[in-house]
Amino acid sequence: MFISELSLVNFKNINQAEFSFSPSVNCFLGNNGQGKTNLLDAIYYLSYTKSFFNSIDSQNVNFNENFFVIQGKIEENDSIFDLYCGMKKAEKKVFRKNKKVYKKLADHIGVFPVVMITPYDINLILEGSDTRRKFLDGLISQFNKQYLADLLSYNKLLKQRNAMLKDMRFQKSYDLLEVYEASMDEKARLIHKVRKDFIEEFTPLFNQFYRDISSNLEHVDLLYDTDLNDHTLSELFQLNRSKDEKLGYTSAGIHREDLVFSIEGNPIKKFGSQGQQKTYLIALKLAKYEFIRQQKKVSPVLLLDDIFDKLDDNRVGYILDLISLNKVGQCFITDTSTTKVPSVLSDFNVSFNQFEIISGTVKS
C-alpha cells in the first residue's frame, strides 16, 4: 500500500503544497524548522486521524489561518481510494474515505497503516506507563476492532467509578459501585486476554529484530506487567476498596498496566546505554511494522524522521538494507543535508524521489 498523491492546505507551517510520490523511497530534505517533519505528520494524520506530535487538532492549523485540509490518494494493487481530513477551528474534525464521512474516527484505524520511527520514540522509554499503553493499544487496534470498542467501554465505566469515589454523595453506595465493577470486570477479562496473547506473539518478532540490528548478544525482553494473571478485576476491587475510597480513584485495573522494557533482566531506562535504548526502540518499531504486515497482508508506509542524523552507521545500514532488499514498502525519509541521504541511497542502488523543503514550500 502506498500514498501516491498528497495535498495540504494550511497544515502547520505549510500553506499550500502538492506532491506526487514514488511507491518506493521519498526524501524530504532541508534545514530544521522548514517543515520536513510536518510532511511526515500529515501522512501520519491520514493513517491515525491525528497528529503524532500534537493531539490538539486546532493547534495543527497554520498560525494565521482557521482551517487545514490534508488529502491523499492511496493505492493498493488495483484499488485506489481518497482520504480527506479537514479541521476548522471550533468545529468538529471531518475525516472522509472516498467522500464518505466516518461516523466514528476509530473505524478508520487500520485502513491505511503507517509506522513512524522518530527520535521522539525515546519517550516510550522515558515517560510513564500511559505512553507504552498507547503504543500497545494503538498497535492492537490496527487489526482488532472489538479490542478498541472494549477499551473505550472500559474507560467510560472507569470514569463513572472514579466519579463515584470522588463524590461524597456516593459513599457506601455499594450496590451501584458493584454494577460498575461487574461491568468493568467483564471488559477487563477480554482486554487482558488480547493483550496477553498479543505480547506472546509479538515478543519473538521483536527479539529477532533486536538481535539482527545489535552486534552484541545482550538479552532484551518485553514483559506484560499486569495483576490480572492471578486475580480477577473484581477481586482486585475488593482488595483495594478502602484504598480506592481514600484515593478517590481506581488504583488497579487495565488502565494501570504497563509494558516493561528490559535488558539483561533490568529496566532499560536505567541500565541500558543510549545506543542500546536506540536499538531497542528501532527493533520495537520494526517489529510493529512487521506485525502489521503479517496481520493485514499489506506493507505499511514507513516514516523515518531524522534518523540519519541521530543514529550510527550500523543501525542506519540495517534499515537501508531492509529498504534496498525490498523488505519494506513505501518509505519517507527526512534529513537536514540535501546531499547525504541521496548519495547513501545511490550507494545502495535505491531509486528515490527527493523534495527540498524551504520554509513550508517545496522544490522538487
Partner 1 sequence: MDFKSKLLNDAVEQMSILPGIGKRTALRLVLHLLDQKNEDVIKFSNAFIKLKEHLNFCEECFHITENIKCDICSNSSRNEEVVCVVQDIRDLLAIETTEQFYGRYHVLGGIISPMEGIGPNDLNIKALEDRLKTNKIKELILALPATMEGDTTNFYLFRKLQDYNIKFTMISRGIGIGNQLEYIDEITLGKSLLDRTEYKSNYQH
Contact footprint for partner 1 (CB under 8 A): 153, 156-157, 159-161, 163-164, 167, 169-170, 173, 175-176, 178-180, 182-183, 185-186
How many Å apart are CA 102 and CA 187, to the nearest integer?
25
* Nearest distance, CB of residue 240 and partner 1, angstroms: 18
Looking at the Cβ atoms of 106 and 298, the one nearer to partner 1 is 106
N-terminal to C-terminal alpha carbon distance within the chain: 23
* Nearest distance, CB of residue 175 and partner 1, angstroms: 7
Looking at the Cβ atoms of 103 and 270, the one nearer to partner 1 is 103
* Nearest distance, CB of residue 189 and partner 1, angstroms: 9
* Nearest distance, CB of residue 166 and partner 1, angstroms: 9
* Nearest distance, CB of residue 182 and partner 1, angstroms: 4
Looking at the Cβ atoms of 178 and 312, the one nearer to partner 1 is 178
Q: Which of 153, 150, 175, 148 minimizes the C-alpha distance to 164?
A: 175
Strand partners, 8: 17, 70
Radius of gyration of the chain (CA): 22
Sign of the dihedral defined by the CA atoms of residues 25, 31, 37, 43, in that order: negative
Type of residue at 134: K
Looking at the Cβ atoms of 181 and 290, the one nearer to partner 1 is 181
* Nearest distance, CB of residue 159 and partner 1, angstroms: 6
How many Å apart are CA 144 and CA 25, to the nearest integer?
29
Looking at the Cβ atoms of 179 and 260, the one nearer to partner 1 is 179
Looking at the Cβ atoms of 22 and 160, the one nearer to partner 1 is 160
Q: Parallel, antiparallel, or unpaired for β 220-225 and 258-263?
A: antiparallel
Looking at the Cβ atoms of 164 and 282, the one nearer to partner 1 is 164
How many Å apart are CA 234 and CA 133, to the nearest integer?
22
* Nearest distance, CB of residue 235 and partner 1, angstroms: 12
Looking at the Cβ atoms of 149 and 260, the one nearer to partner 1 is 149
* Nearest distance, CB of residue 183 and partner 1, angstroms: 6
- How far CA 270 is from CA of 82, 191, 264, 273, in Å, comes to 45, 30, 12, 8
Sign of the dihedral defined by the CA atoms of residues 169, 175, 181, 186, in that order: negative
Q: Which three cell numbers stand for residue 1?
A: 500500500
Stretch (H or E) spanning 19: strand 14-20
SS3 (DSSP) at 21: coil
Q: Which three cell numbers stand for residue 196?
A: 496477553
* Nearest distance, CB of residue 130 and partner 1, angstroms: 21
CA angle 19, 22, 23 (to 5 degrees): 125
Q: Which three cell numbers stand for residue 357?
A: 523543503
How many CA atoms lie less than 13 Å away from 140 in the CB half-sphere?
25
Looking at the Cβ atoms of 116 and 165, the one nearer to partner 1 is 165
